[in-house]
């Protein structure tokens, strides 16, 4: 994975080469090349898809809920085993 500054420098140099040509490119060709440029840059980063992120957040929320339920159950059992002295 490239450090952020190196990635931005590489993007800037490629974009300058893409946009700084002598002859202007048609809009569709420009969009296509820019999309390829951005996909290349993103592939060098350690990113996850939105679907994968959402599914991991769901798993995390479910795990937290189960952990909280287990902690409450343990506290309840500890109280039954060692009732507070009056």
- Which residue has 């999309």 as its token pair? 35
Please write down the long-range contacts of 43-51, taking CB distance under 8 Å and 24 or more positions apart: 44/1, 44/2, 44/7, 45/1, 45/2, 45/7, 46/1
Identify which has the larger pLDDT, 47 or 24.
47
Give per-residue pLDDT as tens, 34-79: 788 878 877 777 788 899 999 999 999 999 999 999 999 999 999 9
Reading the block at residue 48, the tokens are 């996850």
Q: Where are the beta strands (DSSP E) in 1-86?
A: none
Length of the chain in terms of residues written: 86
């Amino acid at each position: 994975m490239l450090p952020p500054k190196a990635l931005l420098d590489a993007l800037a140099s490629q974009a300058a080469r893409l946009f700084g040509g002598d002859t202007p490119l048609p809009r569709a060709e420009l969009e296509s090349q820019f999309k390829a440029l951005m996909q290349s840059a993103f592939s060098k980063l350690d990113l996850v898809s939105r679907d994968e992120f959402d599914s991991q957040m769901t798993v995390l929320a479910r795990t937290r809920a189960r952990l909280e339920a287990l902690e409450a159950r343990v506290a309840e059992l500890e109280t039954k085993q060692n009732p507070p002295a009056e």
